[in-house]
């Protein structure tokens, strides 16, 4: 923490700050300047709140200089984490492709899509049995029946299953039937759910909240890891901005930013990130080019009839083409696939 005093701050104001720092068991380091005094603070073990000092008279600004997360930080663990989802490593040299429909709608539909994405080379299968929907009148998912269908998908295709949990109850069911549990964007700061995920035996796929900063995103991961579950992989899925030509604004620059600060893998979801089918394929390519550890993409065999998010799903044929593109791209960014 660095305290910047106002120009013309009095000796007494400076002393008050210094005493407050000492009272907190910390060490003040005065830095006199031409125009004003600054006071560095060291000795704190957790984060300090800038506002704690900004309320003192004569203080212009208090600036936090240490990042609040620890366990997910690359400073604590320098080399990349690889998370195993079933037998599939996420975060290593190999790109990971998670594919499937937005929601489990029926056994026939789910199995048909699963066979197609497996054949095209997907690594993990995704489909929601529990759907967080903006409207209470929209389809909310098949629940346990959906999870059983997903188990059948795994038996038939060999693909491990990633699926969302939205509360304690669904978390327990997902743990019994799937290979990784997804925490969705709307629950990125549902801290009770994060702590519960931190006690799960499953790896956790954590999506960025709609207006989460990089720090908040990593702190949400820290919640999970601090409970003992180190198997976390992240997902950028677009943030909310004024821009109205896509449903969200996909923030690809967060991929190198996460790689710089954290050892956790990060994937990109261009389906939710754009909300429009014709933008999914170009943004999926861009995600691999920017250095993501993989992508998650929605595939549906009849998007016009999909019970949720149909318009952002691509068709199996488009997915197969995309997989070919990604394999070629992978080599250019030091990755491999297939």
Subset of residues 56 to 95 that bind its own copies, contact rule: CB under 8 A: 56, 61, 63, 65-66, 68-69, 75
* Contact pick of 10, 106, 145, 241 for its own copies (by CB under 8 A): 241
Closest contact distance (angstroms) between CB of 32 and its own copies is 7
Q: Which is nearer to its own copies, 110 or 140 (CB)?
A: 140
Interface with its own copies, residue 186, by CB under 8 A:
yes
Looking only at residues 95 through 124 of this chain, which bind its own copies when binding is defined by CB under 8 A?
none
Q: What are the residues facing 218 on neighbouring strands? A: none
Closest contact distance (angstroms) between CB of 253 and its own copies is 5
Instruction: Indicate the angle between helix axes 107-120 and 144-157, nearest 10 degrees.
Output: 40
Stretch that binds its own copies, among 87-95, 100-108, 115-123, 327-335 (CB under 8 A): 327-335
HSE-CB at 324 with a 13 A cutoff on CA atoms is 5
Interface with its own copies, residue 189, by CB under 8 A:
yes
Contact yes or no for 160/122 (Cβ under 8 A): no
Interface with its own copies, residue 55, by CB under 8 A:
yes
Closest contact distance (angstroms) between CB of 10 and its own copies is 14
Of the candidates 212, 211, 208, the one whose C-alpha atom is nearest the C-alpha of residue 232 is: 208
* Contact pick of 187, 200, 229, 271 for its own copies (by CB under 8 A): 187
Stretch that binds its own copies, among 3-11, 109-117, 143-151, 174-182 (CB under 8 A): 3-11
Interface with its own copies, residue 176, by CB under 8 A:
no
- Number of amino acids touching its own copies (CB under 8 A): 108
Looking only at residues 249 through 288 of this chain, which bind its own copies when binding is defined by CB under 8 A?
249-257, 260, 273-279, 282-283, 285-288
Looking only at residues 199 through 228 of this chain, which bind its own copies when binding is defined by CB under 8 A?
210-211, 213-214, 216, 219, 222-223, 226-227
| CB burial of residue 79 (10 Å; 0-12, 13-18, 19+) | exposed
Interface with its own copies, residue 132, by CB under 8 A:
yes
Contact yes or no for 6/36 (Cβ under 8 A): yes
Closest contact distance (angstroms) between CB of 293 and its own copies is 13
Interface with its own copies, residue 34, by CB under 8 A:
yes
Q: Which is nearer to its own copies, 111 or 139 (CB)?
A: 139
Closest contact distance (angstroms) between CB of 152 and its own copies is 26
d(CA 310, CA 303): 4
Q: Taking the CB of residue 32, how many other CB atoms lie within 10 A of it?
A: 10
Closest contact distance (angstroms) between CB of 220 and its own copies is 8
* Dihedral sign (CA 289, 294, 300, 303): negative
Quote the strand ranges of the chain, DSSP E: 2-5, 27-32, 37-42, 59-63, 83-85, 88-90, 96-100, 124-126, 161-164, 180-183, 204-207, 232-236, 266-268, 294-298
Interface with its own copies, residue 10, by CB under 8 A:
no
Of the candidates 261, 255, 262, the one whose C-alpha atom is nearest the C-alpha of residue 295 is: 255
| CB burial of residue 44 (10 Å; 0-12, 13-18, 19+) | middle
């Amino acid at each position: 923490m660095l305290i910047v005093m106002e120009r013309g701050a009095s000796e007494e104001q400076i002393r008050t700050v210094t005493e407050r720092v000492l009272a907190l068991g910390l060490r003040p380091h005065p830095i006199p300047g031409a125009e004003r005094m600054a006071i560095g603070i060291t000795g704190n073990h957790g984060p300090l709140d800038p506002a704690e000092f900004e309320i003192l008279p004569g203080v212009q600004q208090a600036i936090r200089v240490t990042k609040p997360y620890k366990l997910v930080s690359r400073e604590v663990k320098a080399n990349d984490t690889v998370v195993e989802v079933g037998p599939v490593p996420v975060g290593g040299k190999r790109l990971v492709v998670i594919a499937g429909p937005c929601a489990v709608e029926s056994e026939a539909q789910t199995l048909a899509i699963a066979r197609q994405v497996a054949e095209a080379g997907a690594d993990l299968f995704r489909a929601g049995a529990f759907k967080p929907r903006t409207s209470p009148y929209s389809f909310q998912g098949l629940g346990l029946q959906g999870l059983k269908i997903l188990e059948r998908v795994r038996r038939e295709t060999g693909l491990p299953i990633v699926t969302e949990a939205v509360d304690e109850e669904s978390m327990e069911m997902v743990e019994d039937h799937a290979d990784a549990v997804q925490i969705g964007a709307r629950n990125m700061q549902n801290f009770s759910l994060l702590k519960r995920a931190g006690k799960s035996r499953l790896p956790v796929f954590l999506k960025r909240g709609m207006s989460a900063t990089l720090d908040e995103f990593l702190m949400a991961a820290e919640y999970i890891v601090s409970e003992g579950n180190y198997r976390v992989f992240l997902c950028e899925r677009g943030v909310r901005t004024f821009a109205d030509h896509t449903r969200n604004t996909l923030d690809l620059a967060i991929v190198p930013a996460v790689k710089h600060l954290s050892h956790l893998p990060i994937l990109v979801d261009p389906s939710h990130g754009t909300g429009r089918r014709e933008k999914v394929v170009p943004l999926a390519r861009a995600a691999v080019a920017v250095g993501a550890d993989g992508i998650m993409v929605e595939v549906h065999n009849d998007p016009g009839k999909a019970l949720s998010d149909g318009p952002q799903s691509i068709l199996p044929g488009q997915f197969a083409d995309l997989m070919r593109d990604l394999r070629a791209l992978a080599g250019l960014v030091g990755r491999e696939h297939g």
